[in-house]
Every structure is written in C-alpha cells, then in structure tokens.
Amino acid sequence: MASGSPSISDAYLSGDLRDLIPLLPADLETLTQTRWPQTDRAALAGALRLYHAHLGTLAEARPLIDRLGHPQARAVVTGQQAGLLTGPAYAVHKGASAARLARDLDQPDAPVVAVYWVASQDHDAEEVASVTLLDHAEHLHRLTLDLPTGQPVGRIAWQPGWTQQVMGLLSALETQPEYCEQVQSWFEEAVRPLSSGQAPSYADVFARLIHRLLIRAGVVVLDPLFPALAELMAPALRRELQDPLSGPAALEAAAATLEARGFPPQLRRPAGATNLFVEEAGQRTLLRYDPASQLFTAGQTYTREDLLGLLERDPSCLTPAAGLRPAVQDSLLPTLAFVVGPGEIGYLSQMRQVYQLHGLEMPLLWPRLSVTWLEPNVARLLRRLGATAAEVQRDPAGVLGRALARERGVAALSAGRIEALRAEWQATVQELGQLDPTLERSSQRLADRSLAGLARLQQRSAAALAHTEDTRTGQLTRLERHLLPLGHPQEREISFMNYLLKHGETPLRQLLELPAGFVGEVEIP
C-alpha cells in the first residue's frame, strides 16, 4: 500500500468496505431496534455464574450476569490478551469503551451489558509476559516473566516466584505510597487461590484485575477456556470440523479482494491449514486437513471422529484461530457491537463469509477509544512547546528543536519558511517555463531536490538543538519516556496501572466518563 493511502480502518470508517464489513458505527441507532441475536442467554448466564464463582467474584458480577440472562439482552463485547498487570493501557481503554457504549445503549426492557473476552486460548507468551511502568523519578521499569511457550495462557498456573517479582517491581517504584499499596492489594487479591483452592491461571490473574477495575462500570469478564463456557461454544467447533477448509478459503478470497484494493491482508491460510488448534501435551498446535485422506494432522494424525470425541470429553481442547474466533465468540454471546482496535478491524474485514458459514451475521465494529495520558509535568511542557502529544509521538526531537528555535527568535526551522521558499521556487519555475518550455521540468526537479534537502537540514538542526537541550534539562528524554516509551505510542506500551500507582483512582474515573469513541489527550490533574 502506498505511503499516505488510507488504512483498512480508515477505509472501513469511510464506508468503502461495506461489501466486507456491512455495518458502520453510523448504523448503531437503527441496529439497536433491529438486531436481536438468537443465542441461549439463560445458558450463558448460568455458565458465567459458575465462572465468576470459580474466580471468587460472583457477588459483584451477579447483577450484571442476571441482566445478561434477560431474554432481550444484548452485549457490547471487547477483549484482549491477558497481559501482565493488565498489559498496555489500551487493554483497559477497550473495556472502558465497551462499558460506556453499553451504558449509552441500555434500556430497561432490553439490557445491554459490556463483556470482556479474556483471550486465555492465546499461546503467544512473548505478547503477555511483560509490563512497563514509569515512576515519578522518570525511571522506566520493565519486567518480563519467564513464561512457558506454546501453551494457552489460561493453562499456565500462576507461580509464587512471579508474585515476588511483581511485588518487587511495585516496591521499587518511586510513587505515592498509599496508591502503590492500593495496587499491591489488588494484585495480591488477583493471585490468591481460586474457590477450588488451586492456584489461578495467568489468565485468571488478568481477569481478576480487569474485573476489579471495571466491574463498577458494568463490565463482565469471560474466559472461553472455562469448561461451562467452552461447552456452549462446542457446537460451532463441531460445525467447523464438518467443513474445515471452507472458512480458510473464505479468508483467502477476502485477502485477494483486499490486495486488489491495495490493502495488505492480515490473515493468510496456506493450503490445508484449518481455523482450528488442538492441544497436544500442553502445546497448542494448528490443525491441517487433507481432503483426499479426510485426515487431520497436527503433531498427531486424527480422524474427524477422533476430534469430535476429544471435543465431547473436553470442549476446551479445540480452540479457534484468529480467523474463526470472533464467529465462535458471537455464537455464544448476543453481540450487538464489538469494540475493536485498528488491527482487529483489519482481520475482521476478511471474516464476513466465515460468519455466514456459521449462520451468523457480523456485529457492528466500534473503534475503541484511544487516550494519551498527560501527567502534569508533561502537560505543562507541551503547552510551552505549543505541541500536541500526537505531534511529539511522530517527531519528538523535531517538535522540541523547532520550539527552541522559536524561543530564540529564529524562523529558519519553521514549516512556514519552507512553504514561502516553495512558493518562490514555483513562481520562478513557471517564469522559466514561459521563457523556455524545455527548462520547466529540469527546474522543477531542481526545486524539489533543493527543498527536500533544506527540509532534511531543518530536521537535523532541530534534532541537534533538542539533543543539546536534553543534555542540560532532560526535556526530550521526558517527552519520549512519557509519550513514546521504548519507541512505542504510550497506550501500546505503558500499563494503565502506571497512572493508578501515581495518581490513585482519578485517571480511572476520568477514563470511565469519556465518550465511547473518544480519541485524544486527557490531562491528569
């Protein structure tokens, strides 16, 4: 896709992908009057009560679960991988977005409940093993636990040594003691034994923390590996086993459509690959299918009857790949809207036909809210620089360097200076063309090269100014650590727990009052 062309997310929001994603956020009001998914709400509520009893959170969750069991109930669904200390901030932002949207759509005779799908089936340990925090002393702390690879995180038992590592991290932070003690108590509550007396899984710890943060906002957590919930999704997996290559073929057809429009598809399925994983000796392995022999293979070889038998004995032993998971999710939940990030919009754009193969219609996709948190010292610095957080994230050294040049009364680094020169060049090129048309193209090339070279010199000069100032005051380092930590946008790296550790529950209250589609900066007082 050419630089500057729209993303799949942009194309979706502009209505250019209606053949692939039929519903837009603008359709929400109509949809609330017409969409009533046919799922077994009573069975869902019963399974969720068992799951929350297992977590020890049923007393708080029961009123929401009862509402989800209402015959006319619908869900606003979101979800995320089970990151350490809730992972990057956007994992909590998603839940807040779902909570607000559900609250806006809720009706007394047709409840709408926010559901947070904990991605316990995922086996990418590297994605969930780390957490990044930034303390009051501007020290960036990153902890990575040594998780076993290849296992669904919902199968990984939480280890006492991990508790010691996390508590050591929290104790090492320079932050407000009373706020740190609050987060420590939440974490200790999350790692306590389950109602069965067993250690919680890695996913259970995440689920308990999300519950603690978002239950007051009306969010119910759900773990698809929990046996009673997995049993309700087994019919969708049985359907997939009957025709295991049609779903992958549908994904490939949608991939070809996207490629023809200039978008790189996120999901590809090579010949024989299915949309199902099987657990073998604790490892999650993709199933392949040979239509000639009608056999499935992973580490072992299976007949269809073998897999159906496995599914009967343990409904959680077969799990969906990304190209099937949302459809399995919506076979269980009465989904009205699905709160997603830009990457999820990318792969969901390939899934309309997969939904249809399971007799389902795709839900409306709602882009999650996006927040960049501005702590007081950074908010003051941005105001002084006359810049936004987004501008800093794109070019931190350039923003600081240009601001310093302005403070010194030097306009050489301004965009206006380049534009003025561009206008002068353009006028000169046109005049030369009037005198001698053969000179116009060569003079235009010279103008373009000269202006591009000057822009590069501006950038180098701004960066040099910024780094010199950083040596003296640390301003560039502060901006990067807060807004672009480890080279990533803030909400994709720093945990939301970071702001609770430093400012108490104020950021949580601020977050839960934001509109469901908010995108921007929020100052923490």
Q: What is the pLDDT along the chain (525 residues), one digit of tens a residue?
A: 434 457 999 999 999 999 999 999 999 999 999 999 999 999 999 999 999 999 999 999 999 999 999 999 999 999 999 999 999 999 999 999 999 999 999 998 999 999 999 999 999 999 999 999 999 999 999 999 999 999 999 999 999 999 999 999 999 999 999 999 999 999 999 999 999 999 999 999 999 999 999 999 999 999 999 999 999 999 999 999 999 999 999 999 999 999 999 999 999 999 999 999 999 999 999 999 999 999 999 999 999 999 999 999 999 999 999 999 999 999 999 999 999 999 999 999 999 999 999 999 999 999 999 999 999 999 999 999 999 999 999 998 888 877 777 777 656 555 666 677 777 778 777 777 787 788 778 878 887 787 677 667 767 766 776 677 767 778 888 999 999 999 999 999 999 999 999 999 999 999 999 999 999 999 999
The kind and range of the H/E element at 144 are strand 140-144
Query: What is the Cα–Cα distance from 507 to 499, expressed in whole angstroms?
Result: 7
CA-CA distances (angstroms) from residue 114 to 214, 276, 295, 405?
10, 27, 40, 49
Beta bridge partners of 273: 288
* H-state helical runs in 226-341: 227-242, 246-260, 304-313, 325-332
The CATH H-level superfamily of 22-267+321-371+489-520 is HUPs (3.40.50.620)
Q: Quick one: 190 exposed, middle or buried, by C-beta within 10 A (0-12, 13-18, 19+)?
A: buried
Residue length of the chain: 525
* pLDDT for the residue numbered 455: 67
Q: What does the pLDDT read at residue 4?
A: 46
Task: State the pLDDT at residue 404.
Answer: 73
**Contact criterion met (CB below 8 Å) for 493 and 505:** no
Distance CA 244, CA 124 (A): 23
Q: Return the H-helix or E-strand segment holding 14.
A: none
CA distance 177 to 167: 13
Cα–Cα distances (Å) from 372 to 66, 74, 201, 210, 492, in that order, read 35, 30, 31, 20, 10
Beta bridge partners of 79: 117
Give the DSSP letter string of 20-34: TS---GGGHHHHHHH
The DSSP H or E segment spanning 210 is helix 202-214
Whole-angstrom distance, CA of residue 255 vs CA of residue 263: 9
CA–chain centroid gap for 333, Å, is 20
Question: CA 235, CA 332: separation in Å to the nearest integer?
Answer: 10
Q: How far apart are CA 223 and CA 68, in angstroms?
A: 16
Residue type, 113: V
Q: Which residues contact 446 (CB under 8 A, 6 or more apart)?
A: none
Nearest to 237 by CA among 185, 287, 276: 276
The continuous run of DSSP H or E covering 386 comes out as none
The pLDDT score that the predictor gives to residue 415 is 63
Q: What is residue 47's predicted lDDT score, i.e. its pLDDT?
A: 98
Domain boundaries, the chain: 22-267+321-371+489-520, 373-488
* 202 close to 158: Cβ distance less than 8 angstroms: yes
3-state secondary structure of 116: strand
In angstroms, the CA 231 to CA 426 distance is 69
Burial of 432 (0-12, 13-18, 19+ CB in 10 A): middle
DSSP run (H or E) holding 183: helix 177-190
Q: How far is Cα of residue 275 from the mean position of the Cα atoms in its chain?
A: 21
Q: For residue 57, which amino acid is it?
A: T
In DSSP terms, 112 is beta-bridged to 74
Which residue type, as a one-letter code, is found at position 103? R
Cα angle 138, 142, 146 (rounded to 5 degrees) comes to 170
The pLDDT score that the predictor gives to residue 2 is 39
CB 255 within 8 A of CB 350: yes
Q: How much is the pLDDT for 36?
A: 94
Count other C-beta atoms under 10 Å from residue 412's C-beta: 13
Nearest Cα residue to 9 out of 524, 517, 525: 517
Amino acid at site 265: P
Q: State how far the Cα of 421 lies from the Cα of 447, in Å rounded to an integer.
A: 10
Q: Which helix (H) or strand (E) holds 488?
A: none
